[in-house]
Amino acid sequence: MIIIKDKIKAFIFDLDGVITDTAKYHYLGWKRLAEEEGIDFSKEDNEELRGVSRRKSLEILLDGREVSEEEKEEMMERKNGYYQEFINEITEEDLLPGIKEIIMELRKRNFKLAVASSSRNVKPVIKNLGVGDIFDTISDGHSVNNAKPAPDIFLHTAEKLEVAPESCVVIEDAKAGIVAALRANMIAVGIGPDARVGKAHYRYDQVKDIELEEILG
């Protein structure tokens, strides 16, 4: 992909690990479910769930255990209930360092802004963080059928923004999200270790390390 920097029109942000760290709440929710089901589940195991859908996460957690569709639905709802208990306590103080400054600077420069996350709880989290009015659109786990690493959620978001995919920058912290952004023919910015997001066009250790001038030229 040839990056034409003056063609950049929009920035699309993942939620977990980019805007706030709800990953820890997902972990606690899955861990509680795992304990109830007699399944060993560690923080290392949780890394496999980063950036993937709730259903796929449950399948990874079950690791081949056969359960009915009805049982799967009940487990997903139970985990989500635990997660919602945690996120109800989120406030603006839970924004990751540097993220508000970045999105406010981009807004000042008239870029279109969006959130695209596999989570189905994006809107209440964004509202609790106090940044809901800053974004032009929000796409979540209800928006498309195919979760990351499929490009669907990013293509859907670009369409809602009325911006061509190649004019969008995606900021992600998950391998599945980076793959999805690349498949969507978008500019990928990875947050985290090279082993996880090394395929991105740009990589930074933390959100606060992002250099907009490097991306925008």
16 part of the active site: yes
Pairing of strands 202-204, 10-13: unpaired
Q: Crossing angle of helices 54-62/69-87, nearest 10°?
A: 110
45 a catalytic residue:
no
Q: Which residue has the tokens 């009015």?
A: 133
Which residue pairs from 61-64 have beta carbons closer than 8 angstroms and sit at least 24 positions apart in sequence? 61/30, 61/33, 61/34, 63/39
Per the residue annotation, which of 6, 16, 45, 152 is the catalytic one?
Answer: 16
Preceding peptide of 149 cis, ω within 30°: yes
> Which residue, 119, 105, 110, 114, is CA-closest to 21?
119
> Among 174, 209, 189, 206, which residue's Cα sits nearest to residue 56?
174
**Which of 6, 14, 21, 140 is an active site residue?**
14
Catalytic residues: 14, 16
